[in-house]
Structure 1
């Protein structure tokens, strides 16, 4: 008999990247989102049987089936990011979108009252969650967990450890009913464990005693790294994007500082030496010059792509700058399929036909390989320990 597949509730599901990352050992029994385009993409890939297209604040516990092993919540990040001015997640305040965490948390508390609390939770957002409102948002979230009997730990994981995209994100793992197994305990001399991000370490140090008392540090191995480059993920015949003219490429180069231009020349020389194209990701940013005047700059990276962003988040799409073996430079926007590849999605994933809709699905999601890493090393061992403890309790009750 094959082992039982674990069950997940996927809140703020977007295009379903969390369920893809969890893998074949999991099945999604409930998903919700309020964005019509994302829900359409979700249905196209996974069907409509368990998707509820409704604001999480308008859900009730009756909408949620059974008792899940995991509730995943990638709640909106706009009010916690730099693009959103880090307004925060106070309910009813300026951070209206990111405050949707509290609507999710209300449902979790109701499930607990009904004896159906998920065995584990994973709350995902930008690293700004650790610092928004001078750390008050992170403290409030962790305090809420502790007051309701949940243990928790937090980890910052960068997708660059799995795919060629710099995408650091904060993951808060919570669980009830069992101390973590000994195998998850951090070791003082463990060189293979992922280091704690400095911003997260400071946020944890500043927690109120009630929040800190519920924390149980967990050992998460460092990401395995990737041999892929941005160039490896590019389409030979991209759809929905056009190559920039030579004048537009020169304009992009003119926005770079001498240091940035040197990176371009190094990539061009490497492409000529190796006979293979080198691809870099370019973002336009507003910077202060030496006189303190705001000017537009173009900044490029040839090691990994910068974090994918969408216009909805207040930022531009990623521009590719490609150094060809013949010494030429070409530029265009990243295609929607290339964006999906940077999120670890398989090419079998069905993207919307419209370019902007497809790019948004990828840019607003969670990197699937990061989800698998967390599931393998933290979530699944915690679920197994909770199962063991509950089975022992049932045996004692039956004696």
Structure 2
């Protein structure tokens, strides 16, 4: 259907979402381990170049892509980060990414579509100035653009809201119904509306509201993705599970008791938090959620960032770290997707990626309709 470049490619999750009808002309990532995973899943991947994007320019890139995708690093924009924003060393790779896009335009190979993805902290980073900079870049490069907040939990049982900004080259005619005169839920959140309201008029003039259909209701729950005999982690001993339960407050222990009465297997995600007890003393608490959805996967910088799961079958309670394969399933990857052998490498790969089903939805709802062009009147009738 189309051709694409995939920047900050990781293990090729955007490629997985675009599907077999799309042709990858070029892929890039800085991390050699992620490059190994990319090749393991997409053949020899001669189109992949493991290199700092700051060392690339249009002369290095083959063909004329229909789409340029960039899931640029989130660390400086994340609420858990240090707040450097687009001025940071990692998230600042947004600008070299756009240098490449501008280089393509100067070479008469300007892509029809440009899409970037990042954390929702991009909306408020530096008082909204980073979001303004992202939008201004699209506008000044000659793209009509629209922003969307899409939570992966619409497609997979993982809470993973992300900001997507998608631009279409100004000379491209948009199909009827692809945009709306006003924002709509669930993809235009209150936080997004506040960020858009602060845009300068000149930048706002090139913005559109993408009109996406909501997907069909998700049928699977967190428990459906859980392995009984994972090969990357071990089940905790009863003593370790009891220690975890002992760290819970009365409220969280009550959640466990209710889950035991559910009459079905329930899986909850456990998170360690520092809280104040009734005497005002800091204590470490284990807090659990039983809403059939995993918490957002993150890159494993430390023990607390690796999700622990609590599996409850009636009176039986077990616990362990979430497995590498389970993290891949939460990103919408098929079980034949090849993961790195080391647990941390696999977790880092999945936790740092884009959920493939979200990309697939954007492909169906925006990318392919744009490339197909407006439907002739007589055909539409």
Structure 2-normalised TM-score?
0.93
Q: Which residue number in structure 1 is paired with residue 178 of structure 2?
A: 184
Indicate conservation of the 8 Å contact 1:21/1:372, yes or no.
yes
Structure 1 residues 386 and 144, CA, compared in 2 at 3 Å: closer, same or farther? farther
Cα distance in 1 for partners of 2:276, 2:161 equals 25
Match of 1:299 among 277, 287, 295: 287
Deviation at 1:241, TM superposition (A): 0.8
| 1:387-398 pair list within 5 angstroms | none
Match of 1:137 among 130, 133, 136: 130
Indicate conservation of the 8 Å contact 1:255/1:296, yes or no.
yes
SS at match of 1:78: coil
Q: Which residue number in structure 2 is paired with residue 80 of structure 1?
A: 77
Deviation at 1:257, TM superposition (A): 2.5
Is 1:345 the counterpart of 2:333? The answer is: yes
Indicate conservation of the 8 Å contact 1:15/1:41, yes or no.
yes
| 1:184-263 pair list within 5 angstroms | 184-186=178-180, 194-263=186-255
Cα distance in 1 for partners of 2:74, 2:279 equals 33
Cα distance in 1 for partners of 2:276, 2:192 equals 28
Deviations 1:242-290 (A, max 9, x none): 11122322222233232222221111111xx3xx321111121234556
Structure 1 residues 204 and 342, CA, compared in 2 at 3 Å: closer, same or farther? same
Structure 1 residues 266 and 53, CA, compared in 2 at 3 Å: closer, same or farther? same
Where has structure 1 moved over 6 Å in runs of 4 or more? 187-190
| 1:1-399 pair list within 5 angstroms | 5-46=1-42, 47-90=44-87, 95-176=88-169, 177-186=171-180, 194-270=186-262, 273=263, 276-288=264-276, 294-303=282-291, 304-312=293-301, 316-325=305-314, 327-385=315-373
Deviation at 1:224, TM superposition (A): 2.4
RMSD: 2.1
Structure 1 residues 288 and 96, CA, compared in 2 at 3 Å: closer, same or farther? farther
Cα distance in 1 for partners of 2:130, 2:217 equals 31
Kindly tell me the number of residue pairs found equivalent between the two proteins: 373
Cα distance in 2 for partners of 1:293, 1:196 equals 41
Indicate conservation of the 8 Å contact 1:233/1:341, yes or no.
yes
Deviation at 1:181, TM superposition (A): 2.2
Indicate conservation of the 8 Å contact 2:112/2:172, yes or no.
no
Deviations 1:37-71 (A, max 9, x none): 10000011112310000011111112211111100
Structure 1 residues 18 and 318, CA, compared in 2 at 3 Å: closer, same or farther? same
Cα distance in 2 for partners of 1:27, 1:315 equals 39
Deviation at 1:302, TM superposition (A): 1.9
Deviation at 1:156, TM superposition (A): 0.3
Indicate conservation of the 8 Å contact 2:182/2:209, yes or no.
no
Cα distance in 1 for partners of 2:31, 2:141 equals 30
SS at match of 1:89: helix
Structure 1 residues 247 and 137, CA, compared in 2 at 3 Å: closer, same or farther? same
**Which runs of 5 or more residues in structure 2 are unaligned?**
377-381
